[in-house]
Chains A and B, each alone.
Chain A
Amino acid sequence: MAEPGTILAASGLGKRFGALVVLGDVDFAVREGEAVGIVGPNGAGKTTLLNVLSGAYPPSAGRVTFRGQDVSALDAAARCRRGIARSHQIPRPFSGMTVFENLLVAARAGGGLRGRAAELRCLDALEQCAMMPLANRRGETLGLLDRKRLELARALATGPQVLLLDEIGGGLTDGEAADLVGIIQAIRARGIAVVWIEHIVHILVQVVGRLVCMDAGRVIAEGAPGDVLRDAAVIDAYLGPSAHAHPVG
């Protein structure tokens, strides 16, 4: 599993909440600079996988490694300082602070930068996410698309090597989603690995080179997006066993 070039990996990862098994024995790896999409029906354990990778919860079994080091015992803040950033499905800007300040806290705490270096990092993240005109707006006054961009920019400001995105396209119009795809492609072009959970498959496949499909806490298919979407097990998971005649994708 420790293939050269692997940046973030999970092996034998399990997560249970009491008697409820949400993740059972998941193996998952991302190479440096790679973009991986995760799909699966509701309740498949996608968000839980992201939470265990980012450190929001400790795993019940297995381990998470980042650059070959075991980070299973570290909390989200410590993993963020090492280079694992995450955005939430429901954007949570810090209200009462401007967009720029939102980024500044991230660049200083998560990126470990000070003074001018921190400010430059924030400007760069603003530019990257096309938020420069909004720099002095307060976080809570932003609309949905801008809040999602702020989530991205704030994660970028921490200087990540891996960016974990949770359904960032949800609730957007097609045009807005296209804006977002452009930003994420640019982030990827900088060599930042992206792990992206998304229900809107057609925007996902514009970015990712590999798709992982989960169901009931397990990985059921993995590979090139087209192949995964035609996989019999994937079609079963989404549409039930009788739908083979009409493949999705």
Chain B
Amino acid sequence: MTSQQESSSKPNPPSPSASFYDLSDDEEGGYNTITHNSATRGVKLLYSKSKVYVHPTPSAKDNIPGFIALVQQKSSPLSADDRPDSSGDSSGKQTNASSYLLAWVPESSLTQDDLSTYVRVDLKDGQSPPKQSYLVPPLPLATSFDESPVGPYAFSLPLSSIYSIHVRPPSLGWWYGSIVINTRAGSSLPALFFHDSECESTILQKKRRTRESFDPFGETGDLFWGGDEVIRWLKRYVTVERSTAEPSIYLIDPSEEDRLGFGQGRGSMEAQGRQKAAGSDSKKPKQKPPAGPGMDPLTKALKETRWKILEQLSKVTTFTRRTAEDLVNNKNIPPQVRRLIQNPEIQTLQDEFDSAKLYLARWAMTIAEQSEREKRQRMWTARDVLESEETSVGDFEILDMESGKMTLSDSRRRPVDLKEWESFFDSSGKLQVTVDEVKERIFHGGLDPEDGVRKEAWPFLLGVYDWDSTEEERLAYMNSKRDEYIQLKGAWWDRMVEGESTPEQEEWWKEQKNRIEKDVHRTDRHIPLFAGEDIPHPDPTSPFFNPDGPGTNVHLEQLKDMLLTYLEYDTPPSSSNASHYQTRNPHPLNLGYVQGMSDLLSPLYAVFQDDAVAFWAFVEFMRRMSRNFVRSQVGMRAQLSTLDQLVQILDPKLYLHLQAADSTNFFFFFRMLLVWYKREFEWSDTLRLWEALWTDYYSSQFHLFIAVAILEKHRDVIMDHLRHFDEILKYINELSGTIELQEILVRAERLFKRFEKTVEAVDRKNSFPAPSGGDVRQRKPVDGAEGKSQDSPTSAAATGTDTVPSTAAGASASQRQALPARPRQAQGKQGPKGKAKEVEKEKEKEKEQVITPEVRLLLSRKIITVDGEEDDASKPRASGLKD
């Protein structure tokens, strides 16, 4: 290891962080500080490959892109020959092994300069290391990878310290091929995943191979993927032997003992391969890399198909980028690809193998997303806007030209922070702007996740606090609510301890408690607040009771208590416990605990960290959500049915497809609707989404537009690839963790506006009173035009549901001002002909459209509860559905 010390010429500073690494030896030297300057630019980058990811969690959002690289220590005495011949004998390789390091470094840790060096080396033709020296800063050694200063997963490891590499080529279970490095010290580094579809160099290499010899279905050789490249690099410097016993294991400079352990004979598979390769290798560059680990024929075929699609799509997406802003309504899943998919061989594949179609679908989406991402980055210059307007736009574009485009760049998309929030109130804590202004800001910008503004704003959004209240009133109100919470909590507690109820009731409560506990213990445990267990379980009869140690934590216990308290609140008093606390809930629904409730409660508790406030916030949230949980499931059915009608109106073609696929039950949205996308989005996005939905800014049913937005984003893929209920369900389920919230919010907003226009058009056609001025973006006139009476907003101010028409219209006006030139340009570029066509199309659609009362309700901002529309406090309502 002396070579490393030499290479890191900087003296080892007594860095406080050094203690973290707790290294037994001193070999790290300068590696654990990354003061990069010319003095320490000590390592030479021989090979690198981009888009190699660490997947720290199952969520794709957490994936960390980086480079895998082979570097050479500058000052190794044995590295006089920088470019050893691959046919060099293995003893020579052995001595060099410690001066070459295999490294992984996250993109984010690289400076611009270093990044471009990595990219340059990546794009060099990988047959041999570059002649020119590319120097990059040294990287921390592997032993410290979990505390490394450049991100938790970065490492560099001398080849001499690598014992073996576990190579997992892409397969059905693992779309991305990966490698795991096992060190001689006995540890394994995190798996590195090769996202070949994003890696420029792999794509290029792939293309070259395709050009020169290509018949994906006939070729017998192994398939090319990023991991092969790494093995190939290593083979230049060390002996790499593939284990005969464990073909996925490649041993690095194995000793005789290692060989025996892995069932290597004298002539191991790798050695044979090497001999074969050596002959041609030195003469001319060989296209085919050394045989990689085998893939099953299906994967291979799929993988090859994918590459073909990729190639085709890369052409198309450049085109797409300029043609339409999104994939909605574009017919640009191109004919080439369509033909390809109709290719008999691929059809056979699709039919014979269950998952093939799903995979095809997913690739197509990945690629489409990639191009969209690029687009988004470019979208906000005026030229781009012009460009996109010039091109063929669907009716979508026309309708949304004014509203859709600016939304992301707008300053209104900045989160509302505590300071801005406080500026909404006067000195008495009374709101001094309109409720709609506040809601508009929160709908578009969300609330700052860091500064505690959520704690302040959520009780208003949820309707715990009256928007008209003063601070004093709120304090008083919360104090009384705190007392009430304590009483409620005491009521079930008493019942459990004293056992005063009938045996049936006792049994029921016990059962409920078990259910709640079971779910609480599996709710959001990845959130630090709920992770870990550090207190003994209070109840020895609980299945979670652990006689030998902690069985729970205080926050889980709080969740449990709050859910039990909600049960108390929601359960109608019975004669036997009448002496106890009488719930002040005028309309107990008697839902019992239902799965999903814990999902709805935990974010509230995590934000407030105050059980009483969280409880009352939950009670308010449940006013909206309880219809999802009633025994008859009418609420879920109603929403799925509304969704059905909404898709019929907004995208009839997609609807027909879903119909043919036996999927118009829309069951694949069940999970999304039940817990408001909590399982689809990450924690932070969920909070952002919920606060937008709570505003009811456009509609109290905006969550249904989120569903349509998700569906629309994937509509081309669904229409082209997915033909059965199970395929669609699987595809939609697997979107979990991959959906970009911001984009979906913008889409949903546009869909809403489009819907609003459609309803207006239909109404006009049916001689409903025409909305005044014809500007449909003024919501109020539309509401007013509804046949259904909505009365004046009642005392709903308490829940913030009343509309302030002037504000809504004002917001639209300011939107227009933000980009004044656009509508005119759009019209000009489009030309009268295109416009006329669009209008015609629109008309055609209207013919078939009937706006049912359920659908019309989507325009309303009134919260829908179990019994239908928002209840007035005065209006009596049925006491819950029972079956």
The answer to whether A and B assemble together is no
Binding site for B on A (CB under 8 A): none
Binding site for A on B (CB under 8 A): none
